[in-house]
Structure 1
Amino acid sequence: MDIVGRRNWYFLLSLAIILPGIISMLFFGFRLGIDFAGGDQFNIAFKQPTSAAAVQKEMDTFNVEATVQQAGPNNVLITTKPLGTTQETAIRDDLNKKFGGTVASRASGSITNSRSVPSSHSYMMSSC
């Protein structure tokens, strides 16, 4: 097998794989998670089985961009952008009323970024 003789084809193949990734980073950037962007995270255990879709629908009424994940039949994990204490309390009270009973266990924490993360454009320029 003549690998060295076909090196230009391998270069083209590598370029065809790498170039779309670079273009995607330049145009769309990175989707930063809560550990980089900051926000609030609630791990709520309800007394009754609750679906993530029902909780997501309820979160939409607050005009809050939230990601709701099912963590068990009675548990949901809600991740949001940073909320104020009044909005956080209103959301908790509404979820308690809507899905019955009180919240069995609550955990919420504000996660903030301690370092700045460069945008994809400045990172790409500094690495060249």
Structure 2
Amino acid sequence: MKIIEKRYWYFLLSLLVMLPGLTGLAVWGLPLAIDFTGGSKLELRLPAASALTVEAVQALLAENGLENAIAQLAENNTVIVRSKAMEDATKGKLVAALEARFGG
């Protein structure tokens, strides 16, 4: 079979397979999540409240100066807020506002 003799062809084949992937990585990059770009993620479990909607949470975030924050509702009335880096004082004010508005 002379595999060793044809090793350079195998190297070339490997290179031809890797080049498109490396080119795509260089051109488009990797989509980085909050883990790598920096930011804050706040998870807060609130008691069952009928007024707990994504729109209501987004409005509360905007009132507190976090217009670009993303709010999600998870199971068991858990609110997940993702935003740029927040200081501890801002997080405390946000938690207090969420608990005051939606009970907690």
TM-score (norm 2): 0.62
| Corresponding residue for residue 82 of structure 1 | 85
More helix by share: 2
Alpha-carbon distance in structure 2 between the residues aligned to 1:53 and 1:72: 17
Regions of 4+ moved over 3 Å: 29-32
Percentage identity across paired residues of the two chains: 25
Q: Which runs of 5+ in 2 are unaligned?
A: 1-26
Q: Shift of the alpha carbon at 1:31?
A: 5.9
Query: Is 1:66 the equivalent of 2:73?
Result: no
- What's the offset of the Cα at 1:72? 2.1
- Which fold has the larger relative contact order, with Cα–Cα distance below 8 Å and residues 6 or more apart in sequence? 1
Larger radius of gyration: 2
- Counterpart secondary structure, 2:41: strand
Deviation of 1:70 (Å): 1.4
Unaligned runs of 5+ in 1: 1-21, 103-128
Equivalent residue number for residue 12 of structure 1: none
TM-score scaled by length of structure 1 = 0.52
Which deviations, in whole Å up to 9, do the C-alpha atoms of 1:49-76 show, x marking residues without a partner? 3212211110011221211111125111
Q: Is the 8 A contact 1:45 1:75 kept in 2?
A: yes
Counterpart of 1:60, as a letter, is A
